Amino acid sequence: MYPIVRKEVLNPQVTLLEVAAPLIAAKAEPGQFIIFRVKEGGERVPLTIADFDREKGTVTIIFQMVGKSTKELGQLGEGDSILDFVGPLGTASHLTGYKKAAVIGGGLGTAIAYPQAKRLHELGCEVHAISGFRNKDIIILEKELNAVADKVVIMTDDGSNGNKGFVTDALRSLIESGEEYDLVVAIGPLIMMKMVSERNRPYGIKPIVSMNPIMIDGTGMCGGCRVKVGGETKLACVDGPDFDGHLVDFDAAMKRQGMYKRQERDADCRLLGGNGHA
């Protein structure tokens, strides 16, 4: 059992839980994920590690309540426990050696982009953080991003925070203003990551994207999380989740993602965060 030591509601759909998991915290790195199971007989659900504290022995996860399991997880409070909490899984992000990076999060992807920005900042890289949301009421982690980034730009689809547009608009504006990046990290909806990768292709900037297809075991045995990268089949759970965005076949990934639209609709699974794409 893994006790919840802190719970914070970030917006009506998104919740943060800090979980006591000292063995995972001791080895966790940005880019890796855990798989949780709320109770016996429950489904196994992967969530990217949003933060970790080795001294406290805790791991932070941020999730949106869109299905049965995440809704059950969201009903837990401080002092309650999660039955299974397995990790760290996946390959850690390779973030050393960069001088200036743009770290982009679309909607809930901001929770995954934050630890990348934090690690780059710790490594001495100049970090510009860009996030996109549907409106100002669902913006998350603005304070945390400001603590680890040299520049923060938050876009909203409706312009309710004063910056109307997509994350690709912000990236283009920064590049055209003279900012020279040697890395772009993009995390969010598939279409957003595709458009960000294509946006920086003419500039020769390396894009790292985080692929999060359906996973079951998280160890590469089931093959459910396969993605096409550079013409080869890769498994996001063990080969990723980070990949070069210029090599990912996003069209194939989006087609596979759409296979379960009916089941998700029947289960009332709706992502309510912003897309931040163009």
Q: What is the mean pLDDT of each run of 10 residues along the chain (278 residues)?
A: 95 94 96 93 90 96 89 93 94 94 95 95 97 94 96 95 93 94 94 92 91 82 88 92 94 82 59 42
Q: Which two tokens stand for residue 14?
A: 């998104």
23 vs 37: CA distance, rounded Å: 17
Distance between CA 36 and CA 32 in Å, rounded? 14
Q: What's the confidence (pLDDT) of residue 65?
A: 87
Q: Are residues 71 and 109 in the same domain?
A: no
Which CATH number goes with the domain that contains 108?
A: 3.40.50.80
Q: Quick check: is 166 in a domain?
A: yes
Residue 278: what pLDDT? 35
Residue 94 domain flag? no
Same domain, 160 and 247: yes
Instruction: Name the residue type at position 74.
Output: G
Check whether residue 57 and residue 126 sit in a common domain.
no
State the pLDDT at residue 68.
86
The pLDDT assigned to 255 comes to 87
pLDDT at site 275: 41
- Structural domain boundaries enclosing 231: 100-261
Q: Which residue, of 44, 70, 89, is where some domain finishes?
A: 89
Residue length of the chain: 278
**Inter-CA distances, 46 with 87, 146, 148, 191, 216, Å:** 10, 27, 26, 21, 8
Integer angstrom CA distances of residue 197 from 10, 26, 131, 168: 29, 33, 15, 9
pLDDT given at position 113 = 94
Residue 63 · residue 85 · CB < 8 Å: no
* pTM for this predicted structure: 0.87
Q: Is residue 270 part of a domain?
A: no
pLDDT of residue 220: 80
